[in-house]
Structure 1
Amino acid sequence: MGVTMDYRQIEKSEKRHRRITHTLVYILLIFWALVVLFPFYWMLLTSVKSYGSYNAERVPAFWPISPTLQNYADAFTTVPLAGYLLNTLIFTLATTAIMLVVITLAAYAFARLSFRGKNIAFTLLLSLMMIPNELVIITNYATVTNLDMRNTFLGLILPSVTSVFYIYLLKENFELVPDELYRAAKADGTSDFKYLWKVMIPICKPTLVTITILKMIECWNSYVWPRLVTDDPSFYLVSNGIQEIRENGFGRENIPAMMAAVVVISVPLILLFLVFRKKIMEGVSRGGTKG
């Protein structure tokens, strides 16, 4: 009887310890979530304040007294924000589509095909990740300038249509597919392209979805390269369009109008992540699993 009572006390102690641990973890997670989300809340809050009320605040208000949507109207009428969004959409979709074709074929070649020097070629490809991005930008800028592709969508798109890291990630996923499937398909006379399209891509779809989303986010946020190769406002993306808004649009002091423009620019990425967040987590976890 005494042994039973001891076990019950130990069990109660363990449950109490787990409850306290879980409570502390949730408190820390809630606190960190508030820290992360607060800048987004402040951006949205500022965007619905009028210019006069914002400048009249001696102590920042955490809730708008008289919210207004005029800043959002100004974001589309004062500067060509719709044009910036359209340019960014074209750049993002074209770059992502071309990159998916390039990295899928490259990853399949390194994962399934046998050719002389494959390991050396893949090692050299991975070594490109050691080159600083600044050096690549300088080389790409010189090439695009010499080809007279500045202020064109080709000049914006072509330097971004491949990624060594995504090739490596997709290759690792392709290698998870059993070799028996490939040998059976070849025995049935299936071509490599058909095997890639019918077998490999459907199996590795979560990783491809993850790569697609991450690349779209990368393109949407791209700033340095578009800033270098475009000085014509008709080719501005939203990232360098924000600087144009600040300098020649609303002015340096009209912070609420600028925040409204930033909210409009940020909404597509936020919605993209919220819709596909499970796919992103699934693809990343699959990429980190071997065997």
Structure 2
Amino acid sequence: MYALLTAIAFLMLFPLFWLIGTAFKSPTEDIFQTPPQLLPAQPTFANFVTVWQANPFAQYMFNSVIVAILTVSINLIFCALAAYPLARLSFPGRDGIFTAIVSTIMIPFQIVMIPLYIFTVQVGLRNTYLGIIFPSLASAFGIFLLRQAFLGVPKEMEEAARMDGCSELGIWWHIMLPAIRPALVTLAIFVFIGAWSDFLWPLIVTQDESLYTLPLGVAKLAGAGSFSLDWRLIAAGSVISIAPILAVFIVLQRYIVPTDTGSGVKG
């Protein structure tokens, strides 16, 4: 069983290995040889230097960082604010509202893309950071995930806070959010990956190259004249684009572990 799982894992990771190996290969090495050679015979950083100097990848990186940070921060706040009353408060129509929100997960983004674009243009958000992050300000999946996490918090913690005179907003901030930290980190990782790797919406809503994110920069690199035939440079640009995603996952994955809800008590 372990041998089978190892073979399946290698098949799934092979394109990534080939991409990284190609990015470090020198011009004299054949990247399409059979059988493929994953490890470069003469590793070089020249491809990365060429891509970085010949294209505004520093600006692309800066734009992606700004978009990802804003998207993750706002999405976590909005989803947590929406999920808390759906999980802990009682009011007429609560279950119907939650069902309607979750139902939107089944709607493909391509269906709402045109209305979103028209609205973005009408309110003057085209070619702006806010226009890029607008569709990701909140998500039905995030509301669902955090609601389920809120439901797992013992009611005794909430009742004790109310007896101490804590407001609903105070309970949400000081008690509930620390108690669901693993769910928040999980959602943050998903939102970050989606915002960082999003290509379609930034392509539609931005015409100013100074606002291009890394996926748009790599696509521009793939079609930029002489670069379009040099897969080493395209691979180097792709590695630059995916490296932050791997780094964020490696740093945060240790927090995706169920913790004692007693950590929600904040002194």
CA contact (8 A) 1:250 1:257 kept: no
**Counterpart in 2 of 1:142?**
118
Of 151, 160, 171, the match for 2:127: 151
Matched, 1:131 2:107: yes
The AA in structure 2 aligned to 1:157 is I
Distance change in 2, residues 1:58/1:165 (3 Å):
closer
Change (3 A) 1:102 1:211: same
Matches within 5 A, 1:168-207: 168-207=144-183
Q: Structure 2 unaligned runs (5+)?
A: 262-267
| 1:235–1:186 Cα change, 3 Å | same
1:110 aligns with 2:92: no
The answer to whether 1:84 aligns with 2:60 is: yes
Q: Which amino acid aligns with 1:225?
A: W
Q: Which residue of 1 is the match for residue 192 of structure 2?
A: 216
| 2:227 alignment counterpart | 251
Give CA deviations for 1:50-86 in whole Å, capped at 9, x if unaligned.
2343379687444323222110101111111111111
Q: Displacement of 1:148 after TM fit?
A: 2.3
State the alpha-carbon separation in 1 of the partners of residues 187 and 23 from structure 2. Answer: 32
- Give the SS at the match of 2:29: helix
Residues 62 and 204 from structure 1, CA distance in 2 versus in 1: closer, same or farther, beyond 3 angstroms? closer
Q: Which residue of 1 aligns with 2:265?
A: none
- What's the offset of the Cα at 1:266? 1.2
Quick check: 1:51–1:254 contact (8 Å CA) kept in 2?
no
CA contact (8 A) 1:79 1:249 kept: no
Structure 1: tracts of 5 or more residues without a match = 1-24, 287-291
Cα distance in 2 between the residues matched to 1:50 and 1:275:
31
What code does the residue aligned with 1:77 have? Q
RMSD: 2.0
- Structure 2 match to 1:165: 141
In structure 1, distance between residues paired with 2:31 and 2:245 = 30
Instruction: Say yes or no: does 1:273 pair with 2:246.
Output: no
1:184 Cα deviation after fit = 2.6
Q: How does 1:223-238 map to 2 (within 5 A)?
A: 223-238=199-214
CA spacing shift, 1:205–1:63, aligned 2, 3 Å: closer
TM-score norm. by structure 1 comes to: 0.83
- Report if the CA contact (8 A) 2:17-2:38 is conserved: no
Q: In the alignment, which residue of structure 2 is the partner of 1:264?
A: 240
Q: How has the CA–CA distance of structure 1 residues 253 and 115 changed in structure 2, closer, same or farther, with 3 Å as cutoff? A: same
TM-score w.r.t. the length of structure 2 is 0.90
Q: Secondary structure at the match of 2:227?
A: coil
Q: Give the 3 Å change call, closer, same or farther, for CA 112–54 of structure 1 in structure 2.
A: same
Number of equivalenced pairs: 259
Report which of the two structures shows the higher radius of gyration computed on alpha carbons. 1
Amino acid at match of 2:59: G
Decide whether aligned partners of structure 1 residues 271 and 73 sit closer, same or farther in structure 2, where only a CA change above 3 A counts: same
What is the DSSP-based 3-state SS (H/G/I as helix, E as strand, rest coil) of the residue aligned with 2:223?
Answer: helix
1:56/1:30 Cα in 2 relative to 1: closer, same or farther (>3 Å)? Answer: closer
Determine if contact 2:132/2:202 at 8 Å carries over to the other structure.
yes
Q: Is the deviation greater in 200-209 or in 142-151?
A: 142-151
Aligned partners of 1:134, 1:216: CA distance in 2, in Å? 20
Q: Which runs of 4+ in 1 moved over 4 A?
A: 55-60
Which of 25, 29, 40 lines up with 2:5 in the alignment?
29
Residues 177 and 54 (structure 1), Cα distance of their counterparts in 2 relative to 1, 3 Å cut: same
Distance 2:31 2:149 in 1: 54
1:69 aligned residue (36, 45, 50): 45
* Counterparts in 2 of 1:110 and 1:252: CA distance versus 1, 3 Å: same
What is the percent sequence identity of the aligned residues? 35
